[in-house]
């Protein structure tokens, strides 16, 4: 901070990696213009070995390319919403892993549970009460796993309530939810990713930003479109 405080106003280039948004928010008050560039865009300009010098050259060359657009710097509010989504996704993935583990373990004892979170925990607890197919050695561990799933679901609902509270204060979220098929989770995630939706000129640009446009392999008169590219703009840590 002391270094940037002593420098005249300039353009500061950073890769949009972990903590980049924090440093951008810290540097901007000194009058500098901070541009965050997606790492995969910068990497194309890093030749030979990766060093601080080649990274700096890569950032400079990527900055000169008008087709490479910077990642918007997240405000504290947008960073908080993105963090809630990361936590919710982590809880969701963990819950799914636990449910699949429970189904797999009980299948080895001849207990077949249908796919779906609403089936697994009740059926496991039912088997523990009946104490028929499942060995007593596993009862305590399976009970603890069911309690863990309950806790994860409680945490997910709490996170969704927090998102709903934030959404009530953001008119753009309500506007996005008027789109058919867009609910609270999608609307808040999109806002956290794109920040100001009005900076994107069209719906096609939004699709491209999210990596929802098709892959293209064209030459001369031949044009082939494939599956979606999934090459979304990097947002450093909280994508």
Q: Are 199 and 207 in contact (CB under 8 A)?
A: no
**Mean pLDDT per segment of 10 residues, for the chain of length 239 residues?**
94 93 96 94 89 93 91 90 94 96 93 90 90 85 95 95 90 89 91 82 81 84 83 49
Q: In the structure, how many helices (H) and strands (E) does the chain have?
A: 10, 4
Distance CA 17, CA 150 (A): 34
Please state the pTM of the whole predicted model.
0.81
* pLDDT (0 to 100) of residue 146: 95
Distance CA 124, CA 122 (A): 6
* pLDDT (0 to 100) of residue 153: 95
Residue 54: how many CB atoms within 10 A of its CB? Answer: 14
Distance CA 178, CA 37 (A): 32
* pLDDT (0 to 100) of residue 233: 57
* pLDDT (0 to 100) of residue 237: 40
The H-or-E segment that residue 53 falls in is helix 52-64
For residue 126, what are its two tokens?
Answer: 């039912």
DSSP alpha helix (H) spans, 108-132:
117-130
Dihedral angle of Cα 203, 208, 214, 219, to the nearest 10 degrees: 110
Can you give the residue ranges of every domain in the chain?
2-64, 76-161
* pLDDT (0 to 100) of residue 239: 39
* pLDDT (0 to 100) of residue 232: 64
For residue 12, what are its two tokens?
Answer: 């500061």
């Amino acid at each position: 901070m002391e270094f940037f405080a002593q420098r005249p106003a300039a353009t500061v280039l950073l890769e949009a990696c972990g903590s980049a948004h924090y440093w951008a928010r810290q540097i901007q008050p000194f009058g500098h213009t901070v541009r965050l560039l997606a790492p995969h865009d910068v990497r194309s300009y890093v030749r030979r070995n990766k060093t601080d010098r080649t990274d700096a050259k890569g950032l400079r060359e990527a900055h000169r390319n008008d087709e490479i657009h910077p990642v918007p710097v997240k405000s504290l509010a947008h960073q908080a919403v993105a963090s809630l989504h990361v936590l919710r996704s982590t809880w969701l993935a963990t819950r799914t892993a636990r449910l699949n583990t429970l189904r797999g373990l009980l299948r080895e004892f001849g207990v077949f549970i249908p796919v779906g979170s609403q089936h697994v925990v009740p059926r496991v607890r039912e088997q523990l009460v009946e104490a028929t197919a499942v060995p007593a050695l596993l009862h305590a561990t399976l009970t603890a796993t069911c309690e863990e799933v309950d806790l994860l679901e409680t945490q997910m609902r709490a996170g969704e309530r927090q998102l709903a509270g934030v959404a009530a204060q953001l008119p753009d979220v309500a506007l996005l939810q008027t789109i058919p098929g867009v609910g609270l989770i999608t609307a808040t995630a999109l806002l956290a990713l794109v920040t100001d939706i009005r900076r994107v000129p069209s719906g096609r640009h939004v699709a491209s930003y999210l990596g929802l446009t098709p892959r293209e392999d064209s030459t001369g008169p031949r044009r082939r479109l494939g599956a979606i590219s999934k090459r979304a703009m990097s947002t450093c840590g909280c994508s």
